[in-house]
Structure 1
């Protein structure tokens, strides 16, 4: 994301520089148009497609929920409009965090250009990962994922997603969670992270379209927690590089959590797709009900997850090896320079009469001895 710079000369309207400097304000105006459209009857039907969820189904209240009926949602083509609106919201929040938090820290720390970019990246991602983790945990608790792990594959297809209240305060929604994830990664513009952004969009959209939202939610919360720890330790490293021991410990713990997260992701995926869904009674492809529980789809899902986890481990190992080589190369010159610390005239004589401070065999032929001999 571009950083707003104050300049006396304003760029031409609708130029590239003008859009970069004022893109958050432009996006805010576009989002405000959709919100104002809800206030008028003529435009409300069009604006509501962008702002609220579509394809809702209201089920009658059961004995356990005698006070309220359950509102469930399934996906459709209109969700693209909702993703677009949430993408605008993500851009606005991104700009607020950048201007009112990260830019103020950058002015105090005086980072270099490279560290400035990495600090902004970690600051934005750590805020997103923290918010997504807390939101995902609320959904896991409200829908009893933790107490009953069989919910990951039981009663598949999970084509109806909930929108219920948690503790009468926090509104949690499985579908809104997925839409917000797609919107956030679509708005990201980090050139060197395009591969990871593509992997995020591919797996989130795959879990959303294949009605594997239960498994996808658990895996996303697990992955986001590990990534949050990594970016938090990265922020501490940039803020103060003097505490090398503490940073080394944090880096080590992040590496352990990273490996544990990859292993747990594979275990949950194989347990859900390879065993749970493979033993389900209904294993027929049915687009009307959203049932994709067939052998070809299960193999494709497991292959995609395993290849992605192997790719991430390969990148992680290469990253650690590169850091180890850089650390070794940085310490090697300091070790070589230590024996060459000599002072005064004696060091100069040592280099003339020997090698590396050791005397040679003709040390007796000194200038003083030759002078005495001639007299």
Structure 2
């Protein structure tokens, strides 16, 4: 696999010390800011809730005369970043994406989704920026991607990535090292917990109920009849139920357990976020909660408008909503510090997704020193047992079990 290093020829010293009004940087934040300004390029790994945004805003404050591009991959992250920039007095900001008209860069600070920025003519940005910062840099994982195209065209000598998720895949490692640089600074979840930056995790493992026939299902995915529509083959009638559908999505006893656990949070005036993988699962849980608890809870999915997401987030912050369901579309860029717990209803085996979901609840506040994480032990099918084992291995690596 061939790799090339982009933008390493020039180094730009910082122009001033880091400063954000009202913020006293922690020692580890100062250390990471200094490393970034010294190296000019590379990846910083810092867990969700550890003040990652404050770190890269601190870096931006060191370069008040440079043109800076911040790339994100969701509108939610863009909205929160712009909100933070304005809060700390940054000016001359231009937004691409999230409803903002796409045009060529004209201001000192540009915040954009990668999906919008890649549509620009490269002549309009190739030498415009002195610094590029990639938030959630684990998205820079493929050689043939929008990030590779944009970062490969940019001549910005300062190029930094921030991620809460370690990148272990060889292709991802080669890609981000070529486009951004190697890992130059790292704060682990264990270190953040010891420093009392993150809330102490309380992991609860609940053995999931399951139907008797689940053990005899050998296929993981559902099997569908293939029919032709407008010249294309699409799924028709479902012919065979897979282990995921029978054991998780449509597993009524398990879903009732999840609703009961969510109701416990609500009865204690605590907030909980229920993560699902499939939209159908979220809808079933939403209906089950309405039937058993008597209230309609919000369900955030990919199609949920940003304005609606902002309202739900605000109501969770104010604890007007106690229970919320979400797909993985809300596992990044979600800042609800007083969230009491998460309920992992969707199973799965992805370490990246699991760490991102966990990060939603680990933010520490004056009134929250402990965060509750509930996972379902799915032991009724060989596929689900394997996935459960993979998640348990991740918890073991974190020192939680």
> TM-score, normalized by length of structure 2?
0.23
Richer in helix (by share): 1
Richer in strand (by share): 2
Please identify the structure whose Cα radius of gyration is greater: 1
> TM-score, normalized by length of structure 1?
0.24
